[in-house]
Amino acid sequence: MNKSSQRTILNRVLIELKSYAALVSLSLLCACATVYLTLRIPILTGRAVDCIIGPGHIDYNLLESYLKEMSVLIALTFFTQFIMNRINNNITYNVAKNLRDRAFSKMQNMKLATIDSHPHGDFVSRIVSDVDTFTDGLLLGFTQFFTGVLTVLGTIYFMVRISWVIALIVIVATPASLLLAKFISERTYKYFGDQARLRGTETSYIEEMIVGKDIVRSMNYESLAENEFDAMNNSLRDASLKATFYSSIVNPSTRLVNNIIYAAVGVVGALMSIGGGITVGGLTSFLSYSSTYAKPFNEISDVITEFQNALACAARLFEMIDAEVEVDNGKKTLGEIKGKIEFKDVSFSYVKNKTLIEHLNLTVESGQRIAIVGPTGAGKSTIINLLMRFYDIDAGQILIDGIDIRDIPLEELRQSFGMVLQETWLKNASIKDNLKMANFDATNAEIVEAAKATHADSFIRKMPYSYESILSWEGTALSQGQMQLLCITRVMLNIPPMLILDEATSSIDTRTEQEIQAAFNKMMKGRTTFIVAHRLSTIREADVILFVKDGSIVEQGSHRELLQKDGFYAKLYQSQLD
């Protein structure tokens, strides 16, 4: 990322802090007080030294007053620093919370095309790891950067008051330390960006291996998986080593320069002290200021390094927050839904210049059962994605009861459909809570009735805590078929006017499928239903069967009519019988 991009990200960070302007101002006020009180102590130390003139010549009264004043200053410094740290923690972790909330909220409304084009583990890494890294850098910036800058300015003021000649040596030599830190830190940003990106890739790969653990082991893929992970881990190690190497040499390099400056101050100050140009106490104070002056540069160099890492993570996070969301300009309500659906000259492709569906025309009458069959990759599920507006069509129109679906509010459109998909999804909660996602007002009796209709009640009652069993607990793991039955039960608790069954029984055994067919028939009665299926025995009763090939409907008719045509459908049906 170039300097312009870094500046843009930094401006975004400052905008995030704008709502905390009052707290930031209070933090700066506490920082000023802390720095002033801290820098006042060396002056008193020098004066206390000057109270000791020689053996038997000590001004005890004046020495006691300086020691009392130093004790008060130390106590006040502790108090102001404590308040400042509390404020900085409050600002930093509230910013982190807000960014996480916004990133997660954006993910809920992000275009599915964006989500599908990234490894899912990468989003997890951005919301969790990248926010943590950003928070660490921001907190370090608050706690050390402000006080560091103020300390540098304060020490210059006090050093000039003691001896402007020696102060000039320190000030003139300062740019060497700054330029060295800048030279090194510019090289760290790139490597920290690579580190964050590779960490996201590795997180995604680990997630894939955990989700597909059964397939991995059944195919003896463990060794290859280890090799692939090792390659990723090596890349992450290399990027981390480079980032850490460049960041780690900043502090020693600046310390070297600062130690040279400190030695020069000591020599020049000693010579001036011999000539009477500065008292011993004054030289003691000056050496203390010289050391204090150098320390912030070491801290600031650390802050710059960490902040480079934080900005790299912030860039990934803001990229997610700025991602395009689903366009929802719908203002027309469907009212009482009849369920007539029309595809008019619809064209669509996931990848531009690589057409999938082209000039699709289809009319589905209210209450019809439409089965969609065809080879893998023909566009069956794509038709469903377009109907639900998970993806927007490139050309043409999709109408429900004569209204373009782009004119219907997304929430109303999707509430009008009940979906049971091949890919089951259940959240980390009780079985009852999972089922009530479709209808939060469903009673226990309604839940049990729906479960009995889908033949899920029997295995649910065998769970450790029946309907209250938490699905993530050890011993409550479900088979794929049982999970699919729960997904069907969930839809039956709140059956909308139109249904989509995309391989809804693919993981259920034939006998159970036949048993719940009555529940399906009851659910589909009077409702427009789209059924995507590979098992053709499940769709023989459909009103219309569409055979989709290369994104086009090549055959259309009832089961009997398509068999008589002896075309694509007939050959596929005969192959399944064989």
List, in sequence order, every beta strand (DSSP E) within 381-510.
395-400, 403-404, 417-420, 498-502
Residue ending a domain, among 265, 293, 321, is: 321
Which whole number is the average pLDDT over 235-262?
A: 77
**Final residue before a domain boundary, out of 321, 351, 384:** 321
Phi and psi, residue 342, nearest 5°: -130, 135
- Give percent above pLDDT 70 in the chain: 88
Tokens 């040596």 sit at which residue? 169
Establish if 1 belongs to a structural domain.
no
pLDDT in tens, 263-313: 777 777 777 777 666 776 777 777 777 777 767 766 776 677 777 778 888
Same domain, 384 and 266: no
Q: How many helices (H) and strands (E) does the chain have?
A: 21, 12
Residue 542: closest CA among 389, 369, 383, 297: 369
Does 291 share its domain with 398?
no
Report if residue 24 sits inside a domain.
Answer: yes
Stretch (H or E) spanning 231: helix 222-248
Residue 252 has pLDDT above 80, yes or no: no
User: Do 345 and 317 belong together in one domain?
Assistant: no
Residues 406 and 523 in one domain: yes
Q: 379 is written with which tokens?
A: 């566009």
What is the pLDDT averaged over residues 366-374?
87
pLDDT one-digit tens code per residue, 84-108: 888 888 888 888 888 888 888 888 8
In a domain, 333, yes or no: no
Distance CA(250)–CA(9), nearest Å, equals 23
Nearest to 294 by CA among 266, 267, 269, 260: 260
Q: Is residue 329 part of a domain?
A: no
Are residue 266 and residue 357 in the same domain, yes or no?
no
Mean local confidence (pLDDT), 367-381: 82
Query: Cα–Cα distance between 247 and 245 in angstroms, integer?
Result: 5
Residue 557: which CATH number? 3.40.50.300
Residues paired with residue 145 on neighbouring β-strands, in sequence order: none
What's the rounded mean pLDDT across residues 369-380? 81
Last residue of a domain, one of 254, 287, 321: 321
pLDDT greater than 50 at residue 378: yes
**Whether residues 194 and 299 fall in one domain:** yes
**How far is the C-alpha of 42 from the C-alpha of 50, rounded, in Å?**
12
* Same structural domain, 89 and 40: yes
Write the pLDDT tens digit of every residue in 194-208.
887 888 788 878 877
The domain total for the chain is: 2
Confidence band for 186, pLDDT divided at 50, 70 and 90 = low
Residue 327 within any structural domain of the chain: no
Note whether residue 3 is domain-resident. no
Could you tell me whether strands 552-557 and 544-549 are parallel, antiparallel, or unpaired per DSSP bridges? antiparallel
Q: Structural domain of residue 427, as residue ranges?
A: 341-577
pTM (predicted TM-score): 0.68
The domain that contains 317 carries what CATH number?
1.20.1560.10
Query: Domain check: are 315 and 349 in the same one?
Result: no
* Same domain flag for 315 and 346: no
Co-location of 386 and 457 in the same domain: yes
Give 519-561 pLDDT, tens digit per residue. Answer: 777 778 888 888 887 777 677 788 888 888 877 788 888 888 8
Pairwise pLDDT comparison (537 vs 381), residue with the higher score: 381
**In sequence order, which residues have a C-beta less than 8 Å from that of residue 54 and are 6 or more positions away?**
none
For residue 549, give the nearest of 575, 522, 530, 571 by alpha carbon. 571
Is residue 336 in a domain? no
Query: Residue 486: pLDDT above 80?
Result: yes
Mark whether 299 and 377 lie in a shared domain: no
Tally of residues, the chain: 578
Range list of β-strands (E), 277-367: 341-348, 357-364
Instruction: Classify residue 328: in a domain, yes or no.
Output: no
pLDDT of residue 494: 81
Residues 6+ apart with CB under 8 A from 30: 80, 81, 83, 84, 87
Q: Provide the pLDDT for residue 76.
A: 92
CB atoms within 10 A of CB 287: 18
Of 368 and 193, more confident = 368
Same domain, 358 and 312: no
The pLDDT mean for the chain works out to 80
